[in-house]
Amino acid sequence: MSAKVTAAEIEAAIRTVPDFPKPGIQFKDITPLLADARLFAGAIDLLTAQFSPGSIDAVVGIDARGFIFAAAAATKLNAGFVPVRKRGKLPFTTIEQDYALEYGNATVAIHTDAIRPGSRVLLIDDLLATGGTSAAAAALVQKLGGKILEASFLIELKFLNGREKLSGFPVRSLVAY
Ligand code: AMP
C-alpha cells in the first residue's frame, strides 16, 4: 500500500492559473489532483477522516466541482449524495436561496425531498472563498431540517474570511492560502 497522502502533496497538485476566468482571479485548478489516483483517493480520505461509515446520512455537494468530492466521499461514508445546483438545473420541486456575488446575485437550489428532517449532513465543496455559495447551500439544508455536522473544503482562501459566513457547525479545509 502507498504511504498516506499529506496536505502538502495535495497543495503541490493544485495549479494556480492567473487571470481566469477574468483578470485578477487566481483560479485554483484541481484537475491535476483529480488525474492522480493516489492523490484523489487521499483527498477523499482526508475530507472524510472525522467520520466513520454510517455516521453521516447525506453528503451534500455544491455545483459543480463540489460534486466530484462529495460523491466520492458519500460512497466512502456509506451515505447518500445530494446535489445543490445553480437555479434551473434540478428537475423536481425545489427550494432556492439567493446570495450576493462580487457583482450581482446568484441562486442555488435543492430538491425538496433531498434531505429528511434530522438527517446528519456533511457539506462539501472544492473551495471556500467568500463563503456566499456554501452559506446559501447550508441554509437550504437547514430549511429542509438537515443537521450539518461539518462543512469541508479542499481549499480555503483565508484572506476572504469565508468562515465568518458559516456559523453553527465546524468548518475544515485541507489546504489554505
Ligand atoms: P464563494 O461563494 O465566494 O465562497 O465561492 C466559492 C465557489 O466559487 C466555489 O464553488 C468555487 O468552486 C468557486 N471559486 C471561487 N473562487 C475560486 C478560485 N480562486 N479558484 C477556483 N474556484 C473558485
Tens of pLDDT, residues 137-168: 999 999 999 999 999 999 999 999 999 999 99
In one letter, which amino acid is 103? Y
For domain 51-176, which architecture applies? 3-Layer(aba) Sandwich (3.40)
Q: Outline where the chain has alpha helix (H).
A: 7-12, 31-34, 37-48, 65-76, 132-143
- Mean pLDDT lowest among 10-14, 42-46, 103-107, 118-122: 103-107
Q: What whole-number distance in Å separates Cα of residue 68 and Cα of residue 77?
A: 15
Sign of CA dihedral 70, 72, 76, 79: positive
Q: Which three cell numbers stand for residue 33?
A: 489532483
Percent of the chain with pLDDT over 90: 96
14 with 36: CB under 8 angstroms? no
Q: What whole-number distance in Å separates Cα of residue 147 and Cα of residue 14?
A: 31
Label residue 64 by pLDDT band (50, 70, 90): very high
82 lines ligand 1 (CB under 6 A): no
Residues 48-60: pLDDT tens digits?
Answer: 999 999 999 999 9
pLDDT, position 119: 98
49: part of which helix (H) or strand (E)? Answer: none
Pocket residue to mutate for ligand 1, from 30, 133, 158, most atoms within 8 A of Cβ: 133
Is there a catalytic annotation at residue 150?
Answer: no
Q: Half-sphere exposure of residue 104, counting CA atoms within 13 Å on the CB side?
A: 2
54 with 48: CB under 8 angstroms? no
173 lines ligand 1 (CB under 6 A): no
In one letter, which amino acid is 97? Q
Residues 11, 65, 120, 164: which is the catalytic one? 65
129 CA closest ligand 1 atom index: 4
